[in-house]
Amino acid sequence: MSGSGSEKKTKKEVERLPPKESFSEWYHEIIQRAELMDIRYPVKGLYVWFPFGFKLRQLVYSKLREIMDRDHDEVYFPTLIPETELGKEGEHIKGFEDEVYWVTHGGLDELDVKLALRPTSETAMYPMFKLWIRSHTDMPLRVYQIVNIFRYETKHTRPMIRLREITSFKEAHTVHRNFEEAEEQVNNAINLYKEFYDFLAIPYMVLRRPEWDKFPGAAYTIAFDTIMPDGRTMQIGTVHHLANNFAKTFEIKYETPDGDHEYSHQTCYGISERCVAAVVSVHGDDLGLVLPFEVSPVQIVIIPVLYKGKEEAVMERAKMLENSLKSWGFRVVLDDSDDRPGAKYYKWELKGAAIRFELGPKEVESEEVTVSFRDTREKFRIGLDEITAGKIYEWAEEMKKRLRAKAFDTMKARVRYFDSFDNPEMLREWINRGVALVHFCMSEECAERIEEGTSGGILGSFEEIGEWCEKGKEGRCIICGEKGVLSAVSRAY
Q: How many Cβ atoms are within 10 Å of 63's Cβ, its own excluded?
A: 17
Residue from 21, 97, 386, 409 binding a second copy (CB under 8 A): 97
Nearer to a second copy, 105 or 483 (CB): 105
What gap in Å lies between CA 126 and CA 242, rounded to an integer?
12
* Residue 148 φ/ψ, nearest 5 degrees: -90, 135
Instruction: Say if CB 26 and CB 19 are below 8 A apart.
Output: yes
CA dihedral 53, 116, 120, 146 (to 10 degrees): -40
Does 115 bind a second copy (CB under 8 A)? Our answer is: yes
Does 127 bind a second copy (CB under 8 A)? Our answer is: yes
In the complex, least distance from residue 41 CB atom to a second copy, rounded to whole angstroms: 6
Residue from 67, 128, 287, 313 binding a second copy (CB under 8 A): 128
What gap in Å lies between CA 373 and CA 299, rounded to an integer?
11
Residue from 23, 132, 395, 408 binding a second copy (CB under 8 A): 132
Pairing of strands 109-117, 80-82: antiparallel
Does 5 bind a second copy (CB under 8 A)? Our answer is: yes
Give the DSSP H or E segment for 26. Answer: helix 23-33
Site size toward a second copy (CB under 8 A) is 67
* Residue 166 φ/ψ, nearest 5 degrees: -80, 115
Amino acid (1-letter code) at residue 162 = R
In the complex, least distance from residue 238 CB atom to a second copy, rounded to whole angstroms: 21
Which sign, positive or negative, has the C-alpha torsion 385, 391, 392, 395?
negative
Pairing of strands 457-464, 205-208: antiparallel
- x/- letters, 255..274, toward a second copy (CB under 8 A): x-------------------
Does 11 bind a second copy (CB under 8 A)? Our answer is: no
Nearer to a second copy, 143 or 190 (CB): 143
Does 79 bind a second copy (CB under 8 A)? Our answer is: yes
Only segment of 97-105, 235-243, 316-324, 406-414 that touches a second copy (CB under 8 A): 97-105
Does 342 bind a second copy (CB under 8 A)? Our answer is: no
Only segment of 129-137, 361-369, 377-385, 433-441 that touches a second copy (CB under 8 A): 129-137
Amino acid (1-letter code) at residue 35 = E
Instruction: Say if CB 251 and CB 132 are below 8 A apart.
Output: no
Residue from 54, 199, 328, 395 binding a second copy (CB under 8 A): 54
Does 6 bind a second copy (CB under 8 A)? Our answer is: yes
What gap in Å lies between CA 19 and CA 225, rounded to an integer?
24
Give strand pairing partners of 74. 144
Which residues within the stretch 137-166 sit at the binding site for a second copy (CB under 8 A)? Answer: 137-138, 141, 143, 147-148, 150, 152, 154, 164-165
Three-class secondary structure assignment of 338-365? CCCHHHHHHHHHHCCCCEEEEECHHHHH
Only segment of 80-88, 209-217, 299-307, 339-347 that touches a second copy (CB under 8 A): 80-88
Residue from 19, 25, 78, 472 binding a second copy (CB under 8 A): 78
Cα 320 to Cα 302, 323, 334, 364, 385: the distances in Å are 11, 5, 10, 12, 12
Residue from 26, 27, 60, 85 binding a second copy (CB under 8 A): 85
Q: Binding residues for a second copy, per CB under 8 A?
A: 1, 3-6, 38, 40-43, 46-51, 54-55, 57-58, 73-80, 82, 84-85, 97-109, 113, 115, 117, 124, 127-128, 131-132, 134-135, 137-138, 141, 143, 147-148, 150, 152, 154, 164-165, 167, 255
